[in-house]
Amino acid sequence: MKKILFMMMILVSTVFADQTALNSILKNISIPNVDKTIKNANVLKENLNEQNFKKFLSSWKKVEALYFAGEIDNDYLDTPRYIDVFHNLKEDLKEQMQRVIASKDEPNIALFKNSFKTINALEYVLFNDDKITKREKLLSLAILDSIVSHLNDIKGVYTQYLSSKPKSETWENAMIINSLIASTYRLKEWRIGDPSGNSSKYKDNADNKRAEYFLSKSSFLAIKSILDAHEEIMGESKYLNFGKMAVQSGAKAEVAEVENAIHNSLNELKKLKNDDFSNAKDLYEDVKSLHNAYYLSLIEQLAITAKILDADGD
């Protein structure tokens, strides 16, 4: 498993005296996105169908793409892995979930592993065939209860931070750009490069089965939600977001470069159909430009010093 850690020092501060970019982002983006995901999870519990699953998935990817709770409170560093194990699991989840479905144990016993209570496990339970059995419904409800519990934990971290003495604005801004860089790396390499055969690991070896949500054919939807989350934090808005903060700090051209890369990626994504990654090279290149716009252009203009530690856990 490829893991990249970013250590950086950011020397920029905002011109907004009464609030920081992180405070505004938590209030206007992060908490509303968590609330929407909890709401969509409860809607899915009421009616386990494809449409409701995709709404829930779409809202969750926005929460995941801009996840700050683990940096705010280290106790929640692994919480996303309790909800979504894409690219973070060495076991065959599909094989194990089939055993869970076949088991006669109560759901709270059968779902004894954290990975069994993730959205990936839920996808298998709902989409392994055309019918949702009574057993699969009970398992799905238990999985959703677990996910909602973790989402409430995330909301609690954000709410607590807003009511507590904040950390330095320097730390906050470094944490945000660090998250944006990591998010675009995973989007480029894991979610697009691996299935399309453009990543270094799977060069010229495309396989749609490597896509994040292959069973439900929701991988393009997930990619769109991640790009939408980047648009929320970098694009024009009525509230202070990271893009507005960066413009106020003299990085207008670099923010425009980021926005242009987001728009190009979204436009390229529209051309692709049916979760087929065989022609996704241009999308890969556009998201690569987005990643570079953050990592090479924006942090340089904002006077950020970055150090990348590239550790391969395989």
pLDDT digits (tens, 9 = 90+) for 124-175: 999 999 999 999 999 999 999 999 999 999 999 999 999 998 889 889 999 9
Residue 3: pLDDT band (50, 70, 90) is: very low
Q: Is the CB of residue 51 less than 8 Å from the CB of residue 28?
A: no
Q: Is the pLDDT of residue 196 over 80?
A: yes
73: its two tokens: 């409170």
The whole-number pLDDT of residue 312 equals 37
pLDDT digits (tens, 9 = 90+) for 300-312: 887 654 444 443 3
Q: Which of 38, 9, 3, 4 lies closest to 175, judged by CA?
A: 9
Confidence band, pLDDT 50/70/90 cuts, at residue 223: very high
The pTM of the full predicted model, rounded to 2 decimals, is 0.92
DSSP code string of 27-73: IIIIHHHHHHHHHHHHHHHHS--HHHHHHHHHHHHHHHHT--HHHH-
**What is the reported pLDDT for 170?**
87
pLDDT given for residue 83 in this prediction: 98
Q: Which pLDDT value is given to residue 17?
A: 52
Whether residue 205 contacts residue 197, with contact meaning beta carbons closer than 8 Å, is answered with: yes
Q: Is residue 6 predicted with pLDDT exceeding 90? A: no
Question: At 188, is the secondary structure helix, strand, or coil?
Answer: helix
Kindly write down the DSSP assignment for every residue of 251-310, as one continuous string: -HHHHHHHHHHHHHHHHHHHH--TT--TT-HHHHHHHHHHHHIIIIIIHHHTTEEEEEEE
Residue 238 — φ and ψ, nearest 5°?
A: -80, -15
**Integer Cα distance of 147 and 64 in angstroms:** 13
Long-range contacts of 170-173 (CB under 8 A, 24+ apart): 170/9, 170/10, 170/11, 170/12, 170/13, 172/20, 172/21, 172/22, 173/10, 173/12, 173/13, 173/14, 173/20, 173/21, 173/22, 173/242, 173/245, 173/302
Q: Quick one: average pLDDT of 61-88?
A: 96
Q: Check whether 183 has a pLDDT greater than 50.
A: yes
What is the Cα–Cα distance from 312 to 289, expressed in whole angstroms? Answer: 23
Give the tens place of pLDDT for each residue, 257-302: 999 999 999 999 999 999 999 999 999 999 999 999 998 889 888 7
**Average confidence score pLDDT of the chain:** 91
Residues 6+ apart with CB under 8 A from 39: none
Residue 314 has a pLDDT of 29
Mean pLDDT of 211-234: 98
2 burial (CB, 10 Å; 0-12 / 13-18 / 19+) is middle
Classify residue 217 as left (phi > 0), alpha (psi -120 to 50) or beta: left
